């Protein structure tokens, strides 16, 4: 029997906040600009009820590197955030064929 190589395996990332609480995200997209590298993340939940309660908003983080290890941090500059968010929205609308009209 032939093996199915078309299986979808999402890129899952677990991040912890300052209090040590962990959150799990699916990486939807990544872009690199002259300001840096960024990831668009969508929260994932084991409990379907929590998924329905979630706002569905993207979480966008900036990727940094220190001593050969990647780390992720919140974008604090509003202009930088808006520029990156707009770029992700444009790309994801094309990828997922979303029409806002």
- Whether 6 is in a domain gets the answer no
Cα–Cα nearest to 40, from 23, 18, 25 = 25
For residue 83, tell me if it sits in a domain. Answer: yes
Question: What is the predicted pLDDT for the residue at 1?
Answer: 44
Which residues touch 24 (CB under 8 Å, ≥6 apart)? 12, 13, 14, 43, 44, 45
User: Mean pLDDT throughout 61-67?
Assistant: 93
CA distance 95 to 23: 25
Whether residue 4 lies inside any domain: the answer is no
- Residue 51 is assigned to a structural domain of this protein: yes
Residue 77 domain flag: yes
Please answer whether residues 42 and 25 qualify as being in contact, where contact means their C-beta atoms are separated by less than 8 angstroms. yes
7-18 pLDDT per residue, tens: 666 799 998 888
Number of domains in the chain: 1
User: What is the extent of the structural domain holding 56?
Assistant: 12-95
The predicted model scores a pTM of 0.75
């Amino acid at each position: 029997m032939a093996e199915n190589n078309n299986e979808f395996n999402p890129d899952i990332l677990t991040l912890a906040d300052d209090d040590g609480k962990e959150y799990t995200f699916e990486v939807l997209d990544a872009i690199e600009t002259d300001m840096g590298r960024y990831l668009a993340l969508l929260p994932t939940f084991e409990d379907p009820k929590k998924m329905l309660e979630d706002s569905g908003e993207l979480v966008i983080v900036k990727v940094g590197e220190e001593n050969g290890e990647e780390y992720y941090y919140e974008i604090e500059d509003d202009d930088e955030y808006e520029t990156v968010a707009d770029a992700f929205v444009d790309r994801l609308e094309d990828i997922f064929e979303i029409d806002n009209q």
